[in-house]
A and B are shown apart, each in its own frame.
Chain A
């Protein structure tokens, strides 16, 4: 007997939640308990009184599973609103990465040249290394990191995705 898997789609979900103890564990635990995937998850409070946080989750699954994820998140008591950015119309998504690269001579110059192409900033340098700061879509960051790997990638830290719908309305 073999276990079959269904085709997945990537979705970016944006949640507003009460900023209370355990909320992140509640959300993350829901995903593990029900076997859903988390590609990335970001969280920070977004109101002056620190009462509400926005959580952005990148997940993947068949359409029916995505619907279930949204319904399950929505019934958590501290969750105010769940929006599927992928379904709700055009939206902007960005993540930030810090990318440490080491090398000397031609590698160093090539790294700077590529950073320029990707509009990455140098935020730290030594004689033998750089840390680049890059923002963009997941794809763009992946590509940049992939190129740096060929030059001398030391390590990388990524924030995961945040996103907002385009236009003047809030979610």
Chain B
């Protein structure tokens, strides 16, 4: 059998696995791989400006297409720069394979130039990782890595390849399908759990579906099944930040997002429910608020592909370990087979309408300044009017919550945000990745003036690959969420949360060959958004919004769902030490 170099084996494997795009940055320890890529022009390589950008691009690509994102970086700083994005992908269950160069095997452990213990550093921020010391094992490892990254609960996998292994040769043939000795994620639910869940759902008087990112990860058919299950049962649906779009925001049973900045009706429905069906969510602290007051009179069914998510924070009555799509298909089938009809939930819906009447997402406008909520609402209507496929990414902070609250998502894979890790600097590279995977979509990064600066260097990447991404900055000259917490918790002592020395974003746009648009006040808002959408290339919009707006409603840290604050007048201005100690 003909022998190939490790670098060629890697590229062959990527081709076999259907990889179309690699986000990367070259360096000494990956030069053989870059040379192999040079000879395989069918794999598109996106040259980033910083390795963290590459990881978030891969996440955006993966989240918007359902395919794994692939990253290629060099040893040492290349690998360490990738760690934030790898951790982000772990927290949000994003399938990603990161290939890192390593110093040659004989130099490992000698503090060689650009050496870092990549497998050691990434051991706890990956689903799994490998150091490959033998080119003969490379093909098997790469296929296994993609299998692990994309099956079960998806996540990032790192493959560290020393430079001499890239150059050494080994026989290559395409590996057989992965038959792993110990990795067998359970995807099919036990029938008993499905049976109990369906009967509980049929008997419930105040049921609610609490859905999460797992529905998105399971694939578009899971969203279809969720809609069917909701329609069959008539139960209201809420979602975590990560699950937005699985059930349509324009759907009749939609309650809005739940949790810290969720709607009044979603949080009260959770609090008063007699049955919570948790589908691919994980009872995160942003969702539950004070644990001993969380959904106190409810029974709970938890469907999750990861057994460790079950009973981790909240004890549940029925645990279903399965792929949520498969479990919901079973539930729909059993519901129909049993001849169940949707129960009369009119009393429950009347209660929900009462909560909805609070209009918890409302905000006051004085006409002089743009309220950030208004900016998002107008962006939403302008995007909808285009009839295009629209993908929204965000950075992290107030703008992220306002986007989640005021932009409606009717389909999965259209909302890309950093939920678990909360990574400022995620959104813009994620938009580039999403645009790579969806060239005809309108991809917009909703950003804050502070977080956009965390990976702003990737403007060059968008320019280089002619990617028409739009950055819509809600500019309030603050790290808004930090400032909001300082206002609520530290008597408005705004320690280091003012965005001093901001760049002129319009001039910056021009410097990179982009279009820059400034929106100064309410009169420019609609036309500014229109101009952004109509401009064919990449655009930065510097949208000046009210500086001291707070994101409401809000459940303060450590408070119960029923203690939610609807507007600034309810803020008392100080917190106990116990509350201050919570994140």
Tell yes or no: A7 within 8 A of B by CB: no
Chain B residues 524-583 with CB under 8 Å of chain A are 577-578, 581
Shortest B479–chain A CB gap in Å is 26
A1 to B581, CA, bound (A): 9
| Chain A positions 147-167 with a Cβ under 8 Å from a chain B Cβ | none
Instruction: Judge if A105 is at the interface, Cβ distance under 8 Å.
Output: no
Cβ-defined contact, A26 with B123, below 8 A: yes
Q: Which B289-341 residues have C-beta < 8 A from chain A? A: 306-308, 310-312, 315
Q: Out of A25, A74, A75, A79, which one reaches B123, CB within 8 Å?
A: A25
B18 on the A face (CB < 8 A): no
B124 contacts partner chain A, Cβ-Cβ < 8 Å: yes
- Shortest Cβ distance from A21 into B: residue: B131
The verdict on B173 contacting chain A, using a C-beta distance below 8 Å, is: no
Q: How far is the CA of A75 from the CA of B153 in the complex (A)?
A: 10
Chain A residues with Cβ under 8 A from B307's Cβ?
71, 74-75
- Decide yes or no whether B188 CB sits under 8 A from chain A: no
Q: Are B120 and A25 in contact (CB under 8 A)?
A: yes
Interface flags for A63-85 (1: CB within 8 Å of B; 0: not) read 01001100110110111100000
CB of A90 within 8 A of chain B?
no
Bound Cα distance A71, B311 (Å): 10
Docked Cα-Cα span, A30 to B128, in Å, equals 13
Contact of B399 with A by CB under 8 A:
no
B: interface residue count bin: 20 to 34
Residue of B153, B306, B577 touching A1 (CB-CB under 8 A): B577
Is the Cβ of A79 less than 8 Å from the Cβ of B182?
A: yes
B205 vs chain A, min Cβ distance (A): 29
- The answer for the CA separation of A77 and B178 in the assembled complex, in Å, is 13
Closest A residue to B131 by beta carbon equals A21
Q: How many A-B residue pairs have CB under 8 A?
A: 45
- Whether A64 touches B123, Cβ cut-off 8 Å, given contacts A77-B128, A77-B182, is no
Chain B residues whose C-beta falls within 8 Å of the C-beta of A21 in the assembled complex: 131
Evaluate contact between A77 and B120: CB separation under 8 angstroms.
Answer: no
Q: Is the CB of B181 within 8 A of A18?
A: yes
B72 to chain A, nearest CB (A): 22
Report yes or no: A33 in contact with B124, Cβ–Cβ below 8 A. yes
For window 16-68 of A, CB contacts with B under 8 Å fall at: 17-18, 21-22, 25-26, 29-30, 33, 64, 67-68
Give the interface centre of B131, B153, B183 by most chain A CB atoms within 10 Å: B183
Are B119 and A77 touching (Cβ within 8 A)?
Answer: no
A75 and B308 contact, CB distance less than 8 A:
yes
Instruction: Let me know if B123 and A68 touch, CB within 8 A.
Output: no
Size category, A interface: 20 to 34
- Which B residues are in CB contact (< 8 Å) with A72? 308
Asked if B148 is at the interface of the complex by the 8 Å CB criterion, the answer is yes
Which B residues lie within 8 Å of A68 (CB)? 308, 311-312
Q: Are A64 and B311 in contact (CB under 8 A)?
A: yes
Contact, CB under 8 Å: B306 / A75? yes
Which of A30, A68, A72, A77 has the most chain B CB atoms closer than 10 A to its own CB? A77
In the assembled complex, B483 has its CB within 8 A of some CB on chain A: no
Interface set, chain B 176-208, CB cutoff 8 A to A:
180-183
A22 — which chain B residues lie within 8 A by C-beta? 119-120, 123, 131
Q: Report if A77-B308 is in contact (Cβ < 8 Å); known contacts: A1-B578, A21-B131, A22-B119.
A: no
A1-B577, A22-B123 given; A80·B182 CB < 8 A: yes
CB contacts (< 8 Å) of A18 on chain B: these are 181-182
Minimum CB–CB distance from B121 to chain A (whole Å) comes to 11
Q: Is B127 in the interface zone, CB < 8 Å from A?
A: yes
A74→B308 contact, CB < 8 A: yes
Q: In angstroms, how far is the closest chain B Cβ from the Cβ of A84?
A: 14
B577: nearest chain-A partner, CB-CB: A1
**In the complex, are the beta carbons of B123 and A77 less than 8 A apart?**
no
Q: Which of A25, A33, A77, A79 contacts B127 (CB 8 A)?
A: A77
Identity of the chain A residue whose Cβ is nearest the Cβ of B580 in the assembled complex? A1
A26 to B131, CA, bound (A): 14
Which residues of the partner chain A approach B312 to less than 8 Å between Cβ atoms? Answer: 68, 71
Q: Which one of B128, B182, B577 has the highest number of Cβ atoms from chain A below 10 Å of its Cβ?
A: B182
Binding site for B on A (CB under 8 A): 1, 17-18, 21-22, 25-26, 29-30, 33, 64, 67-68, 71-72, 74-75, 77-80
Query: What 4 new A-B contacts, CB under 8 Å, besides A18-B182, A22-B131, A80-B182?
Result: A18-B181, A71-B307, A74-B308, A75-B307
Selected A-B contacts with CB under 8 Å, 30 pairs: A1-B577, A1-B578, A17-B182, A18-B181, A18-B182, A21-B131, A22-B119, A22-B120, A22-B131, A25-B120, A25-B123, A26-B123, A29-B123, A33-B124, A64-B311, A68-B311, A68-B312, A71-B308, A72-B308, A74-B307, A74-B308, A75-B153, A75-B308, A77-B127, A77-B128, A77-B148, A77-B182, A77-B183, A78-B182, A80-B182
Interface residues of B (CB under 8 A from A): 119-120, 123-124, 127-128, 131, 148, 153, 180-183, 306-308, 310-312, 315, 577-578, 581
